Structure 1
C-alpha cells in the first residue's frame, strides 16, 4: 500500500508546482518534501517528476500517480461524509420478529416504504432467542420480542400486548366445561409448532381455568407439527387438532370461519417490546419504522 502521506505531499507539490510553497502548505521543510517524493518514486518504481529549477514537470507516470492520489482523496472524503449522513427516510432497515407480528406490521411498513422509495425495509421472521442473540452480537439493529429481556446489553421499550387464543375446530363450541375441554384436547391432539409449548404454558397459567393450570403441556398428545405460520391453522380447520397462537393470525387465513377461539375466564396476553443494543443509537431512518410499528401494535 502506498503511504497516503507521501501521496498528499505529491498532490500539493503538483498543484503548487514549487517545493518551497509545498513545504509551507504542508508545514514541512523542503528536504522533507524531497524525501517524501523520493520515497514515493521508490514505492512506484519510476520517476514521477523532472526538476526545473525550483519548479517541476510531471512525467507520464507522475500524471497517473497524481490522478490516482486525487481519486484516493475524493474517495476518503466521500467515505467520511457518508459516516455523518443520516437521512430519516433513506437506507436499509431490518426488523426481526415472530411470524405473527410480521403479518401485522408488514402492510404498514410497505405503506411507509411506498411513501419514501429510498427506504429499504426488510422484515426477518425469527424466534425470540435468535433475535436477542442478533441484537447482543450487533448483527441486528431492531427486533420485536415477547416478554422483556433481562440482558444488560439490550435496551427494550414496551409496545403493547399480544392476545393468545386456544384455537379449536368450528365443530366444537367456544364455551365448554373445563373438564370437557381437557378431554377434547387430549382426544384431538396438539398441532405443534416452534412456539407451541411456550404459548400453551402461558395460556394454561393465565387463562383462569384451574384445571388447565394443572396440565403439563409436555405430556399432551400431538397430532402434527408444522413450522410455517400460514399453515398451522389448516389442520385445525380440518378437525385434526387444536393449537395456541396469537389471535391476530385468524385475520390472515381464508378459512377462519372453520375455526373458533375458546372463551376462557381471563384474557391471555403477552407483552411486546422493541429491542436494540444499549450501547449505540439507531440511525434516524429507524425512527419512522419504530413509530409505524408502535401505531400498529398498540
Structure 2
C-alpha cells in the first residue's frame, strides 16, 4: 500500500509546481518534500517528475500517479462524508409495532416528517414475537411491544399503558353487567383476531369481576376471524359478535356510535415498551422519532 502522506505531498507538489510552495503548504522543509518524492518513486519504481530549476514537469508515470492520488483522496473524502450519516433529521427510520399502536403514532410521525423532509419514516405493523425477533437479530432498530421482554438481547424502556376494552354492539341493552355478560358473549361469539386470545385472557384476569375471571377464553364460541385491524370492529358494529381491543381503536372507525365498551369494575391496561438492541445506541435521527412517540403514548 502506498503511503497516503507521500501521495498528499505529491498532489501538492504537482498542483503548486514548486518545492518551496509545497513545503510551505505542507508545513514541511524542502528536504522533507524531496524525501517524500524519493520514497514515492522508490515504491513506484519509476521517475515521477523531471526537475526544471525550481519547477517540475510530470513524466507519463507521474501523471498516472497524480490521477491515482487524486482518486484516492476523493474516495477518502467521500468515505469520511459517509460517516456523517448520523444527522438528527436525515435518513431512514423504521418503527415496528402493533396495528393499534400504528394508528396512534403514525399521524404524529407524518407531522414530524413534514417538518423534516429528509427523514424517511417507515412504520411496520407486526406481531410482538416478530418485533422481538427482529430486534434480537439486528434486522430492526426500534420497536414497540406490550409487556416487558425478558431477554438480555433486548433493551426496553417503559412508555405507558394501553387500555383494553371488551367491545360490544351498542344494540345490546345498557344494563349489561357481570351476571349477564357471560351469557351475552356465549350467545354472540368472538370476532377473533391475532391478539384476541391474549387480550381476552388479560381482560378476564384483570377486570376485577370474579364471574368473568372464571371464563376460559379457549372454550368460547367464535363468530368470525379477521386479521385487518381496521375491519375487526365492523362485524361487532353489525351485532355479529364482540371482541377485545385497545380502546384507542374506537377513535379510528367511522361507526363508533354503533359500539359500546363494557364497563368493568377495574380498568384493564397493558404496559407498552420501546425495544432496541442493548449493544449500540440508536442513530441520532431516531431521537426525534422516539420523542414524538413518547408524546403520543405517554
Would the TM-score normalized by the shorter structure come out above 0.5? yes
Structure 1 residue 179, shift from structure 2 partner: 3.7
Alignment partner, residue 225 of structure 1: 225
Change (3 A) 1:241 1:16: same
Structure 1 residue 86, shift from structure 2 partner: 2.7
Please, what TM-score do these two structures have when normalized by structure 2? 0.82
1:133-191, Cα deviation, whole Å (9 max, x unpaired): 11111221111111111111222111111000011111113542324211211121111
SS of residue matched to 1:84: coil
Q: Is the 8 A contact 1:18 1:56 kept in 2?
A: yes
Structure 1 residue 9, shift from structure 2 partner: 8.5
Distance in 2 separating the partners of 1:171 and 1:261: 12
Aligned-residue Cα RMSD (Å) equals 3.8
Structure 1 residue 43, shift from structure 2 partner: 12
The number of equivalent residue pairs is 298
Distance in 2 separating the partners of 1:94 and 1:264: 37
Structure 1 residue 82, shift from structure 2 partner: 3.1
Q: Is the 8 A contact 2:191 2:232 kept in 1?
A: yes
Structure 1 residue 91, shift from structure 2 partner: 1.7
SS of residue matched to 2:83: helix
Structure 1 residue 259, shift from structure 2 partner: 0.9
SS of residue matched to 2:69: helix
Structure 1 residue 271, shift from structure 2 partner: 0.6
Moved more, 281-290 or 11-20: 11-20
Which aligned segments of 4 or more residues in structure 1 are displaced greater than 4 angstroms?
1-62
Please, what TM-score do these two structures have when normalized by structure 1? 0.82
Structure 1 residue 23, shift from structure 2 partner: 13
Alignment partner, residue 76 of structure 1: 76
Show structure 1 runs of 5+ residues with no match.
none
Structure 1 residue 81, shift from structure 2 partner: 3.6
Change (3 A) 1:220 1:16: same
Change (3 A) 1:30 1:197: farther
Change (3 A) 1:54 1:113: same
Distance in 2 separating the partners of 1:4 and 1:147: 54
Q: Is the 8 A contact 1:174 1:263 kept in 2?
A: no
SS of residue matched to 2:180: helix
Distance in 2 separating the partners of 1:187 and 1:234: 18
Change (3 A) 1:42 1:121: farther
1:63-93, Cα deviation, whole Å (9 max, x unpaired): 3553344223222233224324532222222
Change (3 A) 1:6 1:296: same
Change (3 A) 1:32 1:196: farther
Distance in 2 separating the partners of 1:296 and 1:122: 17
Structure 1 residue 268, shift from structure 2 partner: 0.4
Q: Is the 8 A contact 2:85 2:91 kept in 1?
A: no
